[in-house]
Each structure stands twice: as structure tokens, then as C-alpha cells.
């Protein structure tokens, strides 16, 4: 087991299996099926992300470098939480962008029954170490155990 320390963006604790992307997460493309077409498993629809495309994101510890895409990113994350189609947590190797941070923070404040802890600045070593299916435990202090 290895422990990594990051910065808490949206608080919470959770244990979930890892789902890893080495490319950026296009939030709109990734969650479009879940938000518009009723996909309750939040299957990633971003054809430009071979690490995630076609995989279920619901309840997974989504490990990624950053989000990419349009200004809708924060609202997409908020809506995924509101519809209970969010990953168990978002874990960023790099600092989070302001749009994803806004959506995550708003969801944590306005939707207390839709927890999605968000930790950023975990470092490239975190993303190099974690592999799909590993067990991730997020702690309230921003530490992340990878087992």
C-alpha cells in the first residue's frame, strides 16, 4: 500500500475501485449519456479517451491528471452528483481547474446526499502508481491510500 497526500477540494471519505485515465477528462463528452440519455451507470462516452471510453464511472475512484473541455465542466459534475451518477471520488494528479472545482464544491455544499470527495495535486507519481481496479481510500485530510 502507498499513501499520497493532496489538497482537499470537496471533503469526504470513501473507498472505491480505481478507474484510471492518463489523459484529461472531457466532462461533457464523458457524462453526456448519463445526463441526457439516462445511463444510470455513467458509462464514459468520450471516444477520445481510450483509457475510459465505454467504462462505467459510477462509484469508481476516478484517477486523472486534469479535466479538459468547455465551460460546462463544473455544471456537468454538479448535475452528475444531483442525478446520483457521479464517480465515488475525483483524484487529480495536477491542480484542479477552476470550473471542475466550482462544480465539485457546489455539489458538496448544495447536495449533501450526493458525496463526491475531490482531491487534487496528488502528483505524477500517484498517476504512475495507481492501476485500474486497485482499491482507493480517500481520507478527510486529503491523504489517499492506494492498495
pLDDT-based confidence at residue 78 (cuts at 50, 70, 90): very high
3-state secondary structure of 56: strand
CATH architecture of 2-146: 3-Layer(bba) Sandwich (3.50)
- Residue 38 clears pLDDT 90, i.e. is over it: no
Bridge partners of residue 92, in order along the sequence? 64
Contact yes or no for 81/90 (Cβ under 8 A)? no
Half-sphere exposure of 85 (CA within 13 A, CB side): 23
Calpha distance 18→89 (Å, rounded): 10
For the entire predicted model, the pTM comes to: 0.96
Rounded to an integer, the average pLDDT of 80-92 is 97
Amino acid at each position: 500500500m502507498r499513501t499520497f497526500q493532496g489538497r482537499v477540494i470537496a471533503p469526504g471519505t470513501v473507498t472505491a475501485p480505481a478507474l484510471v485515465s492518463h489523459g484529461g477528462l472531457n466532462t461533457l463528452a464523458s457524462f453526456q449519456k448519463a445526463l441526457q440519455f439516462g445511463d444510470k451507470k455513467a458509462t464514459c462516452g468520450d471516444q477520445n479517451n481510450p483509457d475510459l471510453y465505454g467504462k462505467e464511472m459510477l462509484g469508481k475512484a476516478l484517477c486523472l491528471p486534469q479535466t479538459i473541455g468547455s465551460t460546462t465542466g463544473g455544471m456537468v459534475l454538479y448535475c452528475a452528483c444531483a442525478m446520483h451518477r457521479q464517480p465515488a471520488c475525483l483524484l487529480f494528479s495536477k491542480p484542479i481547474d477552476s470550473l471542475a472545482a466550482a462544480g465539485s464544491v457546489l455539489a458538496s455544499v448544495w447536495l449533501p446526499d450526493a458525496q463526491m470527495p475531490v482531491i487534487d495535486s496528488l502528483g505524477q507519481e500517484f498517476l504512475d502508481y495507481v492501476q485500474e481496479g486497485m482499491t482507493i481510500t480517500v481520507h478527510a485530510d486529503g491523504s489517499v491510500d492506494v492498495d
